[in-house]
Structure 1
């Protein structure tokens, strides 16, 4: 497997496409080629680091590498596809971190490094070789990457079994591939796009290894994929083709709450996405776009430096409940630029809501990140390109109802984030308490608030999820009115009032909760949202500085009316 090293070069067109948040098939092909080199470098580093590591009951890693090289010499394209398989990247990066002492896991190190033997065996099977080798067994599962897994019950948690290929038959622990104990992952197929539905690889979950979880059936996933691909193809045929060329596998996770899908990707695993069972094909399509944007940017960042490590601050990310570092925020703006572009073409109430929401939130984050001194010149160029493409979208008309729902969700998320993660300056609080009561809004003395990440008790998207119910499924929304928390985690009756325009009722409920001593961040923000809708000037102050209003109320032992506190606060954020 020796080749002459050649530098990777992106064409000017591909370079410009990626800076602008896009990337056609030729660009994705270039990224795949560069990721192949990145993968081989990581595997080589792993082998070097493992040279003196214990191998336990397995053969030396050099034997696994020889078998892998033998398979590559016979069936190069097949083995290349295997080496580029996303879970292989996660394995190599995770195991290298363990060998270097920067990561830990309860798996024996010999089993993690020895996964190379499983990779070599899978390559040899693909190449049609005759061979014999041992591979690790994890809690009763022996896995051949991208091929399948054999159930091997009855043994210890960590052991080895033999893989044997001779006379055209392949057995694992003496059982033939394809028998009742063998599970092969299904494939999702739709008009030229194929994704392996990986429910077995121990490194499929991107962060920490997990055991195989074979699906009973892939029928639901296939139906959803058919719908998602039809939507993607109709929205932008060229970008759909690029996505089909770039994504290799999908890691299925259980269904989550409606309108709260979970998904993930990793820079170690170009070509995959983890996703919960989507609500429908449209949500699935949006998720694939989202995660493929992460895939592209991660590959681009393996070639170019977009930010330096000197910026250690944490930032507000409009799609997360937790503060994020600069790199995480950069990944987010790139992904949600793609999500915004997707929803721009979905012409129905929920689609208009998603478009209005994400164009505003992405623009907000781009403005924030553009002020960071941690960006390189190229990073600033990328941010400027995205902002320039997004700017005209902000002026496009959106139905009033969807726009109002989006505005509520935006204000809610930003203010709730502040209420949980910012702590007002103590000098400011003491000065305002000493001046209470007063008539004119003061100029707050002291320093600005400090970022102290809090522990949210519910998702900051709770009211946005209720708005989605109302826009997409009015009948379903009516059914959840009486007990919203049973369907939408964390939802309260006053949240129903807020999203349905019963703002006077919501204001009374939030006010009463605070007076009773139950004024959590969601309630203070809810009071601000309701007051603003009712035309009370308290609303803007409460939404601008909910953390300061709550701190003042506590310091004054509840003597100050919550709305009066809001009216005294300036409506602009420090």
Structure 2
């Protein structure tokens, strides 16, 4: 994306990691602009290589594009919400990276599910047959229909949609009800329907169904893989979410509100130890990928840490902070492997947000004493490591001018945190 100047106050607030609703609004706008750019890039790529795309896939892609346009003219806010769903970004990244051929064709079929989701949420009348790859129709941010064959028929009108498997007589169709025209909220029921769970007092989905929620082969090192619906306990995740939100609200209400605003999806990963392992996909800001947490503190720290990876990834697309393609790597205190400059910046930023949180926890009399004590210890451990990473950043010639100013503002905030005071109470 082209560089768009930011107000100095917004840039400083973002560098300080402190939450501000106006900053979130700006980042959401930047994310949407980026999403539209990538969607247009996919359309251009398909048209440029249309002779190499399977004829049936091309026909479905073009039909789906027109359906998406129809839904957008009917209810643009809802369609924007579908396009900005984090895992829509993961799909776009995968499709744009795939060489032309059968593998790309499989990615292109995803546009049909995206357009159908937008049309259903926008309350557009529908009567069409839709592909269900692998016997599954996944509606992003809504849920998944199991099909007895590779196609389903969807008939929708006046806030109600019915889904039947083509060529298969089932005693009960899946019914999707539009419960709120303003937000496009859909609720489904039926023996072949699995809907996504919404986390308490938020709009964030517990997404254990989307086929793009984790890349093939997993994410991170060691590789972390997606947990399946059968292995996901929504009640336990809701309890973890409530406990983490309560802890954040008592420690730093602004951060609790930021998490609720910024987070669109929590993607459960397979457990690999007693504590959570979190991750963020650069292509899917607003989604936190995490294994089950050990408790409220673990969950709260993971959410704050990963949300800041999302914020920085979105900001970097709007205002490039470092130059790509450099071979230099650097050692940081929180990882055993050397990191490129982008990884150093990402890690320093996310850990600066945690040190800010821990600093506040040490003096918050409304939080449990074990959390205050633990926060003080973690602050002492991480504060110096973040300071060392900031020195690496400021001595590097790999940052852009904007990136250098961002790192300077981070260092000012880091210095303002000082030493952790003795835990209150």
In structure 2, the partner of 1:43 is 39
Match of 2:329 among 306, 310, 314: 314
Corresponding residue for residue 90 of structure 1: 90
Task: Give the Cα–Cα distance (whole angstroms) in 2 for the partners of residues 100 and 370 of structure 1.
Answer: 41
Give the one of 190, 200, 210 matched to 2:209.
Answer: 200
> What is the CA–CA distance in structure 2 between the aligned matches of 1:328 and 1:8, rounded to whole Å?
23
Are the counterparts in 2 of residues 231 and 285 from structure 1 also a CA contact under 8 Å? yes
Query: Could you say which residue in structure 2 is the equivalent of 1:28?
Result: 24
Q: Which runs of 5+ in 2 are unaligned?
A: 167-172, 176-188, 219-224, 363-371
Give the 3 Å change call, closer, same or farther, for CA 127–208 of structure 1 in structure 2: farther
1:244 alignment partner in structure 2: 260
Q: Once the two structures are superposed, what CA deviation does each residue of 1:147-185 show, in whole Å capped at 9, x if it has no partner?
A: 1111235x5xxx444444357432052541421111001
Determine if contact 1:270/1:299 at 8 Å carries over to the other structure.
Answer: yes
Quote the residue 1:296 is aligned against.
Answer: 311
Q: Does the 8 A contact of 2:213 with 2:226 survive in 1?
A: no
Secondary structure of the structure 2 residue equivalent to 1:189? coil
Cross-structure match for 1:77: 77
**Cα separation, 2, equivalents of 1:169 and 1:57:** 25
SS across alignment from 1:344: helix
Gaps of 5+ in 1: 1-5, 102-106, 400-574
Structure 1 position 208, deviation (Å): 6.5
**Contact 1:25 / 1:238 at 8 angstroms: preserved in 2?**
no
Q: What CA deviation, in whole Å up to 9, does each residue of 1:312-344 have, x standing for no partner? A: 211113222322111111111111111111122
Task: Look up the match of 1:359.
Answer: 383
Structure 1: distance between partners of 2:226 and 2:262: 26
Tell me if structure 2 keeps the 8 A contact 1:136–1:142. yes
User: How many angstroms does 1:138 deviate by?
Assistant: 3.8
Please tell me whether the aligned partners of residues 82 and 118 of structure 2 are also in contact (alpha carbons under 8 angstroms). Answer: yes
Q: Are 1:17 and 2:28 matched, yes or no?
A: no
Change in CA separation of 1:365 and 1:227 when aligned onto 2, cut-off 3 Å: same
Q: Residue 17 of structure 2 contacts residue 352 of structure 2 at CA under 8 Å; is this kept in 1?
A: yes
Greater shift, 77-86 or 162-171, is seen at 162-171
Distance in 2 (CA, whole Å) between partners of 1:9 and 1:391 is: 26
Q: Which residue of 2 aligns with 1:120?
A: 115
- Residue 49 of structure 1 and its aligned partner are, at CA, apart by 0.7
- C-alpha change, 1:95 and 1:82, in structure 2 (3 Å) is same
Q: Which residue of 2 aligns with 1:171?
A: 163
Aligned residues: 383
Equivalent residue runs for 1:251-266 within 5 Å: 251-259=267-275, 261-266=276-281
Partner of 1:327: 342
Deviations 1:350-381 (A, max 9, x none): 22221111112111211222211111222122
- Does the 8 A contact of 2:380 with 2:419 survive in 1? no
Query: What is the TM-score when the length of structure 2 is the normalising length?
Result: 0.83
2:229 is paired with a residue whose SS is coil
Secondary structure, in 3 states, of the residue corresponding to 2:53?
A: coil
> Aligned residue for 1:385?
409
Q: CA deviation at 1:270?
A: 2.1
Which digits, 9 at most, give the CA deviation of each residue in 1:252-307, with x for residues without a partner?
A: 12333123x21111221121111111111111111111011111111111111211
Q: What CA RMSD, in Å, does the superposition of the two structures yield over aligned residues?
A: 2.6
CA 1:32–1:206 in 2, change beyond 3 Å: closer, same or farther?
A: farther
Higher relative contact order (CA 8 A, sep 6+): 2
Counterpart position of 2:299: 284
SS, match of residue 205 in structure 2 = strand
Counterpart of 2:63?
63
Equivalent-residue separation in structure 1 for 2:100 and 2:346 (angstroms): 26
Structure-2 residue corresponding to 1:373: 397
Residue 185 (str. 1) matches residue 196 (str. 2): yes
Compute the displacement of 1:99 (Å): 4.2
After superposition, the Cα gap between the structure-2 partners of 1:56 and 1:332, relative to the gap in structure 1 and judged at 3 Å, is: farther
CA-to-aligned-CA distance 1:383-404 (integer Å, 9 cap, x gap): 12212221243533568xxxxx
Give TM-score scaled by structure 1 length. 0.62
**C-alpha spacing 1:207/1:349, structure 2 compared with 1 (3 Å):** farther
Q: Distance in 2 between matches of 1:345 and 1:231?
A: 12
Q: Which has the larger radius of gyration?
A: 1
- Rounded to whole Å, the distance in 1 between the matches of 2:325 and 2:199 is 43
- Following TM superposition, by how much is the alpha carbon of 1:211 offset from its aligned partner in structure 2, in angstroms? 8.3
> 2: distance between equivalents of 1:141 and 1:212?
17
Cα distance between partner residues in 2 of 1:362 and 1:134:
54
Residue matched to 1:147: 142
Task: Tell me if 1:111 matches 2:95.
Answer: no
